[in-house]
Amino acid sequence: MKPETEKVLDEFFDHADDLGDDVIEDIRELLGVVPFIFTVLREQRPEVFALSAIADYHISRPKSLDGKTAELVTMAAAAGAGADACLKVHMGAALREGASRDEILDVLQIAAMIGKTKVLASSLRTYREVCGEEQASTK
């Protein structure tokens, strides 16, 4: 790493504790709760937490999307990843951002449809490979 870059990072890390406190408050305001993973990382790895949480905040609130849309997208990703705790947090955040119950349900149904499609695409390719294309197409 270049010495100039190391110097900037060292200065950043000197403020990681204060930044971590600010980030925790921002997260609480944004999501309504502070997720478990944030509290553990904040306590055990404050430098990593500061870098990661700031990056995550900017990723989760891009300038191209309003807060409600960003939360609905996050919900779909959480549902697809099977991240139930994240899904619950981001459902609440979506409601706070103005999402309706119907919008939340529609997002979950879309996520489930894509999950089903993933399973079918993979399993039907295996079916065709094992059973043969001719047999697979005639049944």
pLDDT given for residue 97 in this prediction: 97
- For residue 134, the enclosing domain spans 64-139
Judgement on whether residues 52 and 75 belong to the same structural domain of the protein: no
Specify whether the CB–CB gap between 78 and 90 falls below 8 A.
yes
Query: Is this prediction's pTM over 0.85?
Result: no
Number of domains in the chain: 2
Q: Average pLDDT, stretch 58-63? A: 93
- For 91-136, the pLDDT digits (tens) are 999 999 999 999 999 999 999 999 999 999 999 999 999 999 865 5
Distance CA 118, CA 106 (A): 18
pLDDT-derived band at 77 (thresholds 50, 70, 90) equals very high
Q: In 10 A of CB 106, how many CB atoms?
A: 13
Judgement on whether residues 96 and 110 belong to the same structural domain of the protein: yes
- Whose CA is closest to 108, among 133, 84, 138, 130? 84
Tokens coding 136: 């697979």
Distance CA 117, CA 110 (A): 11
Domain end residue (candidates: 10, 31, 60): 60
Judgement on whether residues 87 and 128 belong to the same structural domain of the protein: yes
Domain end residue (candidates: 60, 77, 105): 60
pLDDT given for residue 139 in this prediction: 54
